[in-house]
């Protein structure tokens, strides 16, 4: 079951904390393993490379699918998991009513119509950072990743469209209190999928983390 995000951003951030025991480098892990290391170490272990968007089109990342064939798409699964007040579910997983908290801009959203499901690391950014070399199956898995609560997040449509395909060098959540978690989750997501970062992205993340605790993060590599 995916972790339901609430207005208590600090509580969500605490969910990432685990005992600081033996640290393992993510590069040594196999898919399905769990690795743990301080967030600054995780950042420094991400490969730094230039980005290339040649050949990118959004349709190369198939979404939203119904992986478990229960009638609800990935989008609906995220909405159901992250609702503060559960919506009503009708035929063909049509969701009505309900309430959600959008941590990017620190506001509540009534009804699913005002929400987008954000790929924390946008599809275009993933393409730039290594997904251009993946198979279509791997890109589909990335675009519908329900295996890690940090990968997909229900946020206000306004904040998501403001973000678009930007990385932390040019966009951070307007809610300043959420930026430590955002940077940490971004690093965790890139670690999970073996993606690289560019130099300006690394610098921006390091600057944010200068004002954040060096928390341990846990990641299960997806590939």
Lowest-confidence segment of 28-37, 105-114, 198-207 by average pLDDT: 28-37
Would the pLDDT of 215 be above 80?
Answer: yes
Amino acid 115: pLDDT: 98
Interval 55-82: pLDDT, tens: 999 999 999 999 999 999 999 999 999 9
Would the pLDDT of 14 be above 70?
Answer: no
Amino acid 17: pLDDT: 31
Q: Is residue 118 part of a domain?
A: yes
Host domain of residue 149? 9-219
Q: Is residue 1 part of a domain?
A: no
Give the pLDDT mean for 85-102. Answer: 98
Interval 1-12: pLDDT, tens: 343 333 323 332
3 state DSSP class of 35: strand
pLDDT, the chain, mean: 89
Amino acid 33: pLDDT: 84
Q: Is residue 102 part of a domain?
A: yes
Distances from the Cα of 203 to the Cα of 9, 108, 163, 167, 208, angstroms: 24, 32, 19, 12, 9
Q: Is residue 211 part of a domain?
A: yes
The residue assigned the tokens 């959203």 is 109
If one compares 16 and 112, the residue with the highest pLDDT of the two is 112
Interval 25-59: pLDDT, tens: 334 567 778 999 999 999 999 999 999 999 999 99
Q: Is residue 2 part of a domain?
A: no
Distances from the Cα of 2 to the Cα of 145, 171, 213, 222, angstroms: 11, 26, 25, 16
Count up the domains in the chain and report the number: 1
Would the pLDDT of 190 be above 70?
Answer: yes
Question: In the chain, pLDDT over 90 holds for what percent of residues?
Answer: 85
Question: In the chain, pLDDT over 70 holds for what percent of residues?
Answer: 87
Distances from the Cα of 220 to the Cα of 24, 26, 46, 156, 174, angstroms: 12, 9, 15, 28, 29
Amino acid 28: pLDDT: 52
Amino acid 29: pLDDT: 67
Give the pLDDT mean for 187-199. Answer: 98
Of 124, 173, 129, 159, residue with least CA distance to 12: 173
Give the pLDDT mean for 123-152. Answer: 98
Give the pLDDT mean for 179-202. Answer: 98
Amino acid 2: pLDDT: 41
Q: Is residue 3 part of a domain?
A: no
Q: Is residue 59 part of a domain?
A: yes
Vertex 129: Cα angle to 47 and 194 (nearest 5): 55
Would the pLDDT of 206 be above 90?
Answer: yes
């Amino acid at each position: 079951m995916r972790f339901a995000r609430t207005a208590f951003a600090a509580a969500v951030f605490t969910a990432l904390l685990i005992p600081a025991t033996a640290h393992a480098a993510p590069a040594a892990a196999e898919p399905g393993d769990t690795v743990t290391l301080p967030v600054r170490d995780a950042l420094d272990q991400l490969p730094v490379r230039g980005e290339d968007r040649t050949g990118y089109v959004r349709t190369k990342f198939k979404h939203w699918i119904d992986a478990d064939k229960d009638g609800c798409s990935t989008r609906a699964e995220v909405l159901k998991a992250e609702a503060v007040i559960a919506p009503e579910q009708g035929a063909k997983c049509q969701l009505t009513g309900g309430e959600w908290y959008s941590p990017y801009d620190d506001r509540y959203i009534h009804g699913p119509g005002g929400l987008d499901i954000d790929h924390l690391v946008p599809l275009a950014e993933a393409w730039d950072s290594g997904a251009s070399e993946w198979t279509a199956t791997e890109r589909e898995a990335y675009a519908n990743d329900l295996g890690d609560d940090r990968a997909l997040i229900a946020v206000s449509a306004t904040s998501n469209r403001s973000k678009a395909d930007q990385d932390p060098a040019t966009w951070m959540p307007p809610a300043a209190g959420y930026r430590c978690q955002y940077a940490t989750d971004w690093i965790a997501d890139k670690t999970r999928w073996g993606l690289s970062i560019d130099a300006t992205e690394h610098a921006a993340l390091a600057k944010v983390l200068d004002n954040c605790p060096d928390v341990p993060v846990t990641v299960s590599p997806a590939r």
